[in-house]
Amino acid sequence: MRNWFKGIAFAVFVLSGSCFAQIEASAGRGESFQIVVDIVAVLFLLLGVYLALDLNKIMKGGELAMSWGWLSGAVIVFALIKVIEVGAMAEFWIVPQLLLSLGHLFTALFLLLGYFRQKKILS
């Protein structure tokens, strides 16, 4: 477990260095800290994607499988949107705000459908 944590800490350190290099000339200290926080959030979301896919594989065939599928989809879409957002903040590419808003809309929709399905089954 400790080696895994050291690997994540090293990845955050390496990724944050490249982001600082991208925004050094154009932005202040506050924005670079926000990018580091967003990179940590992306790492947690990617871990959540791994766990969601693993959980979805375990739940295959049960009554709650469809609801966990929707919840897993929400985590995956949110992780993708966050990666796109971090890349846009680091000025790797230009992203229209509509794309980010649609990603958040689909995340909310998948969460709603997943929770609704779970409530229906458990009630």
Per-residue pLDDT at 110: 94
Q: For 64-84, what is each residue's pLDDT tens digit?
A: 888 888 888 898 899 899 889
| Dist. CA 11–CA 43, nearest whole Å | 9
Which domain, by its residues, includes 41?
A: 2-122
CA 82 to mean position of chain CA atoms: 5
* Number of domains present in the structure of the chain: 1
pTM recorded for the entire structure: 0.67
Cβ proximity of 78 and 35 under 8 Å: no
